[in-house]
Amino acid sequence: EIVLTQSPATLSVSPGERATLSCRASESVTSNLHWYQHRPGQAPRLVIYGASTRATGIPARFSGSGFGTEFTLTISSLQSEDFAIYYCQQSNAWPWAFGQGTKVEIK
Amino acid sequence: QVHLQQSGPGLVKPSQTLSLTCAISGDSVSKNDTAWNWFRQSPSRGLEWLGWTYGASKYYNDHIRSVRGRITINPDTSKNQFSLQLNSVTPDDTATYYCARAKGGTFAYWGQGTLVTVSS
């Protein structure tokens, strides 16, 4: 089974700064890697699918990159609404799997 | 536009059954290319994918040992909805539960979430 490892567990960032989140897969997931944002009290939201495509309604400050086993989610200039937990998820092989999450908190 | 509307009690007594329903609009629980899922989230465990109903098949996430043998996810085609039942609940099952649609490998649509507290 594929295991996704996210780092860091917590990222402290000031508003307006860049945030870079990492997701590493235990074996190749090609580009079948997706990112979700989960704000407190709200449902999770798909942010990036297929490693690099922004989902509907997601601002351009969110970008995804990577292929195979190494992936990155970048938020170019953090806004207050971006402080949340971010999860990566792979759908390349069964069973699908989620990472344990990276919490982006206000510094 | 797909919309998922959750319903069910927010308080369940220990040893009883947690029952939640997710009503679907804009899609069909019967479609063979779409899976209908349940998740839960708590501060201590993060986001946990509990399982799905997908056409005629079911999947229950064996990695969540604490729910093994206690969980059932069922479609209701007559009402275009699906349900979650979790038997013999304990305080450890206290969490916010979410339903979600999976298609093309991603979970793009989610219910609003239901905070379920297990307490006497």
A103 and chain B in contact, CB less than 8 A: no
Q: Are A44 and B107 in contact (CB under 8 A)?
A: yes
Q: What is the mean pLDDT of residues A49-64?
A: 97
CB contact under 8 A, B98 and A44: yes
Q: How do residues B37-46 score in pLDDT, each as one tens digit?
A: 999 999 888 8
What pLDDT score does B63 carry? 85
What pLDDT score does A62 carry? 98
Q: What is the mean pLDDT of residues A86-107?
A: 94
Spans in chain B with pLDDT lower than 70: none
What pLDDT score does A56 carry? 95
Distance from CA of B34 to the nearest CA of A (A): 14
Q: How far apart are CA B89 and CA A89, in angstroms?
A: 28
B55 and chain A in contact, CB less than 8 A: no
Q: What percent of chain A has pLDDT over 70?
A: 100
The β-bridge partners of B98 are B39
What pLDDT score does B56 carry? 83
What pLDDT score does B83 carry? 97
Q: How do residues B8-20 score in pLDDT, each as one tens digit?
A: 999 999 999 999 9
What pLDDT score does B46 carry? 86
- Average pLDDT across chain A, whole number: 96
Cα B25 to chain center, whole Å? 16
Distances (CA, A) of B107 to A18, A78, B7: 26, 24, 20
Distances (CA, A) of A85 to A16, A34, A35, B6, B113: 18, 14, 10, 22, 16
The β-bridge partners of B49 are B39
Select the residue from A29, A89, A102, A105 to test the B interface by mutation, using most B Cβ atoms within 10 A. A89
Two tokens, residue A67: 């292929």
Q: What is the mean pLDDT of residues A39-49?
A: 95
What pLDDT score does A11 carry? 97
Cα four-point dihedral sign B42, B3, A62, B38: positive
Q: Is B47 left (phi over 0), alpha (psi -120 to 50) or beta?
A: beta
What pLDDT score does B75 carry? 95
CB contact under 8 A, B111 and A34: no
Residues of A with CB below 8 A from B104's CB?
49, 91
pLDDT at A69 over 90: yes
CB contact under 8 A, A96 and B105: yes
B64 and chain A in contact, CB less than 8 A: no
Q: What is the DSSP code (8-state) at residue A82? A: G
